[in-house]
Amino acid sequence: MAPKKAGVLGATGSVGQRFILLLSEHPDFELSVLGASSRSAGKKYGDAVTWKQTSLLPESASQVPVSECTVEAFKDCDIVFSGLDAEYAGPIEKAFVEAGLAVVSNAKNYRREADVPLIVPIVNAEHLSVVENKVKAAKAKGEKTGFIVCISNCSTAGLVAPLKPLTEKYGPIDLLTTTTLQAISGAGFSPGIPGIDILDNIVPYISGEEEKMEWETKKILGSTNQDGSKFVPLSDDEIKVSAQCNRVAVSDGHTECISLRFKNRPAPSVEEVKQTLREYVCDAFKLGCHSAPKQTIHVLEQNDRPQPRLDRDRDAGYGVSVGRIREDPVLDFKMVVLSHNTVIGAAGAGVLIAEILAAKNVI
Ligand SMILES: NC(=O)C1=CN([C@@H]2O[C@H](COP(=O)(O)OP(=O)(O)OC[C@H]3O[C@@H](n4cnc5c(N)ncnc54)[C@H](OP(=O)(O)O)[C@@H]3O)[C@@H](O)[C@H]2O)C=CC1
Ligand SMILES: N[C@@H](CC(=O)OP(=O)(O)O)C(=O)O
């Protein structure tokens, strides 16, 4: 099958650059249109971008002219990935959806909409059924409909990965706490975190992050309504989530120290928890998606792992590492989770969502 035409909004940013790396040699997608602000539009991508990835800028992308983020420029795309600054993403993404385009967005603007899927593709791919139904209903009438799928907050992605197989097997988790150690790439590039703030330092505040983690977890682990058109997040009575977020001097990879309690008694054993995480296979892998991790969750036994520099690239950043799984004297278990914030927490999640949508003939 011919590759699908892909556009990237916000192509010059931290997430946008990761999209370029992931899409430049992707078998199912071809980089077709790259968009950024009017500061970058009109230049060749290689001249507009301040490339900060540790892999070289792909030559094919470097020659692509940067466009304004208009529907006209992107109208022939089969799929549009957005890494736009959230301050500007709202009206641009809305116009794209209204023009009939399929948008997969990293921005936070539409995550709370009741009919918009909020997806971590290794966790709740089944929530994409809401857009699948919408697209199929439109097709049956000979029409085309636009839609948006939101990618979760990057820290939420790591948090919910172990929760999915555990709740599937052992029932609800009713108490959950997490303390994050988040990489500087999560703060973006314009302007990003100044070196003087993060060198030899930890910043115990990331604006809006704790509220996002606490709320998004409930939507991702929640369900849909009876006709499958809207999402029903878990209630505050069903699960209490408490997050504390910190910025640390790590380039990529968010680490989270989590503790959890199961509602049902008796709780499983440590060995059962480990086995359940090891055996978990995400739907994207079952669908044969190109980027799906072979091992969704890597259970690490060494006392001093996971570590961001050593473990963030497992399964090319699409796999999540979980270590130090042990009993917790306050709740039931505690563990350390590591996920690549710009791969499975952002651009990679977008690419994997698009692969799932393609496998299901939604795009
Ligand atoms: N970094 C991460 O780990 C994660 C980020 N996100 C979200 O993804 C989005 C992008 O984040 P990030 O890549 O870190 O941000 P950056 O600041 O690194 O990049 C922002 C992008 O938006 C473009 N842009 C800025 N203003 C405008 C405008 N007026 N019109 C069109 N384009 C504009 C910039 O283009 P130009 O270069 O021309 O200014 C740039 O391409 C945000 O919404 C963020 O919250 C989500 C999860 C994780
Ligand atoms: N806040 C995240 C990145 C981000 O932009 O998240 P969100 O897409 O939820 O705004 C971080 O700093 O690591």
Q: Is the CB of 213 under 6 A from ligand 2?
A: no
Q: Which residue, by CA, sits nearest to atom 32 of ligand 1?
A: 37
The string of pLDDT tens digits covering residues 107-159 is 999 999 999 999 999 999 999 999 999 999 999 999 999 999 999 999 999 99
Question: What residue ranges define each of the domains in the chain, with the CATH number in brackets?
Answer: 4-153+347-359 (3.40.50.720), 154-339 (3.30.360.10)
Q: Which atom of ligand 1 is nearest the CA belonging to 11?
A: 41
Residue nearest to atom 9 of ligand 2 (CA): 153
93 and 107 Cβ atoms separated by less than 8 Å: yes
What is the structure's pLDDT at 191?
A: 85
The list of the chain residues with pLDDT below 70 reads none
Burial class of residue 141 in the structure, from the number of CB atoms within 10 Å of its CB (0-12 exposed, 13-18 middle, 19+ buried):
exposed
Q: State how far the Cα of 108 lies from the Cα of 342, in Å rounded to an integer.
A: 15
Which pTM does this prediction carry? 0.97
Give yes or no for residue 341 CB within 6 A of ligand 2. Answer: yes
The model's pLDDT over 145-169, given as tens digits with 9 standing for 90+, comes to: 999 999 999 999 999 999 999 999 9
Query: Is 206 a pocket residue for ligand 2 (Cβ < 6 Å)?
Result: yes
Cα distance between residue 252 and residue 272, in whole Å: 31
Q: Whose CA is nearest to atom 14 of ligand 1?
A: 188
Show which residues are catalytic. Answer: 154, 254
Distances (CA, A) of 88 to 36, 91, 108, 212, 290: 11, 7, 11, 19, 31
Say what the pLDDT of residue 189 is. 84
